[in-house]
Structure 1
């Protein structure tokens, strides 16, 4: 009989003198704290630091990349001559004109040949050159610097030097061919030889870039794997194709994407050495954009061609990421 009040008092711990819940509680239960706000308060400093670093970069990209892209898309719908204060909206007429122009097919052919030849030769020769430079040879540090030097040189300067080398009358290559009893091709008059000349110079200039990237990748190949294959009886050539090349697939994929984009946008060597000639024999999509804008003055038509080039770059890049990346072996 005397324990009942004690039990009742124990069950009403925290209640007021009149049995009501204390201040700050609801129905006798403690009010929960807003735990959902704690992560924001905890990470607010990190969010602010991220925005402080990211917003300036995003603003620069928006102003200098996406804004010109949108404006160029608008200009491609105009009949507008460079320098004119008036323009006429023509919709998709500029695109229709380019796709129905017989000259466009030749421009696409030249662009495809130039891109495939330069990318293939750069990757293949760069890998072979990197394999040689990866060996313990005397003076290999100097050789690496010499090979990489053309990549950082001005394309205008490189083009002017090679113009002298390819000169069919006074050039160094013509003199070398005469010592062997052969004559120099007409590099500047023949459409096919002019394209070959530009391809050779472009590969020579960018070969060092691919070689240095491949060299860095070769030095990260596990030596124990190669030694194990050698103990199993695999020869040098078999080890190279079966082990080294698959392990270099991430580097090859990276170089493939970057060199394709660079080749499709090549301009300086073509402008200095051939100016797109002879007879449009070296006119690529990139060079046609320049000609239509700054030579003929058809800025609206040039904008349409540049949007077509942008579409080609986008489709090729997405295609490489979609299909070729599946064959990349990431260790």
Structure 2
């Protein structure tokens, strides 16, 4: 016997919404946004990307600004291997970076710890200590620094008061670089403000718990402050290393643009400037600039790789 089985009505499959075109208002807003961004794009192409690509091309040429560039291939880079003055500039620059940056960060952290204790008039002190970072790279401060450490400068006048015969600090090959390192350490305002902001983010309950356990000042600093502040230390370290490699104005003014006595303040940037605008070897100067880029990129990459071992993000 055949039984009729009722059949279900076919279910309708909901169709996905078809993508709709942008509304006229959204299109007008998009065009307006691109219009306002156009000057930035033009500036990026003409002022930044264009010169970068041009310098890369010129680094493979012999170019004197007065004649068309002549292709040399890798000759400029091979020439660096036998350039003794370049090797001197590298030694001076590496010494400057490896000595001044740790001292600058140590001074910035020490002052930030002092100001974090709740000093009255903190905003005024913070502004005063930040001023050297704003003025440290200026020509006026570099000239002032040369006068302070000159033969008849303020330092020697103070030494005369106690019967000590001072040196011509900026003109002596053993001390000239030290004056520039001191200048860089003096411009600790920027990392100090960043350290201070980081210290304000550390919860007070950690220090209270440590005090209950009998921890002293040094233990709290080493076990609580430093680990929680490592991201800020890393940030300041990367920025200050990059900035120190690019130091130019101070060395140019203090040394009179010559690299100082016995090339004791011949920074890499100063030597690059001398090759490009002093000897009109723009091709070689461009190659030097690209090598400096590689050096800075290498230091930054090493910092990021090493950061995995000592930077703690609280996870």
Q: TM-score, normalised by structure 1?
A: 0.83
Q: Check whether the contact 2:116–2:200 (CA below 8 A) recurs between aligned residues.
A: yes
Deviation at 1:35, TM superposition (A): 5.0
Query: Over residues 99-128 of structure 1, what are the superposed CA-to-partner deviations in whole Å (9 max), with x where a residue is unaligned?
Result: 221222211110100111121111001000
Q: How does 1:24-39 map to 2 (within 5 A)?
A: 33-35=15-17, 37=19
1:227-306 to structure 2, matched below 5 A, reads: 227-274=208-255, 275=257, 276-306=259-289
1:57-98 Cα deviation digits (max 9, x unpaired): 56644443333222111000111112x132210011011111
- What aligned pairs does 1:135-146 form with structure 2 within 5 A after superposition? 135-146=117-128
Question: Residues 49 and 218 (structure 1 numbering): CA distance in 2 closer, same or farther, change over 3 Å?
Answer: farther
Alpha-carbon offset, residue 186 of structure 1: 2.4
Aligned to 2:203: 222
Contact 2:86/2:271, CA 8 A, preserved across alignment: no
Unpaired segments ≥5 residues, structure 1: 14-27
Runs of 5+ unmatched residues, structure 2: none
Distance 1:89 1:129, change over 3 A: same
Moved more, 139-148 or 298-307: 139-148
Distance 1:255 1:51, change over 3 A: farther
CA distance in 1, matches of 2:30, 2:194: 33
CA distance in structure 2 between the partners assigned to 1:51 and 1:29 by the alignment: 47
Q: Which of the pair has more CA radius of gyration?
A: 1
Aligned pair count? 306
For 1:51 and 1:127, the matched residues in 2 are separated by: 46
- Report the Cα offset of residue 180 of structure 1: 1.7
C-alpha RMSD of the superposition = 3.0
Residue 157 (structure 1) aligned to one of 136, 140, 145? 140
Tell me which of the two structures has the higher relative contact order, counting C-alpha pairs closer than 8 angstroms and 6 or more residues apart. Answer: 2
Taking the TM superposition and a 5 Å limit, the aligned residue runs for 1:67-146 are 67-82=50-65, 84-146=66-128
Any idea what the Cα deviations from partners look like across 1:145-164, whole Å, max 9, x if unmatched?
A: 21111211252111111111
Aligned mates of 1:200, 1:36 — CA distance in 2 = 67
CA apart distance, 1:141: 3.1
Q: Secondary structure at the match of 2:243?
A: helix
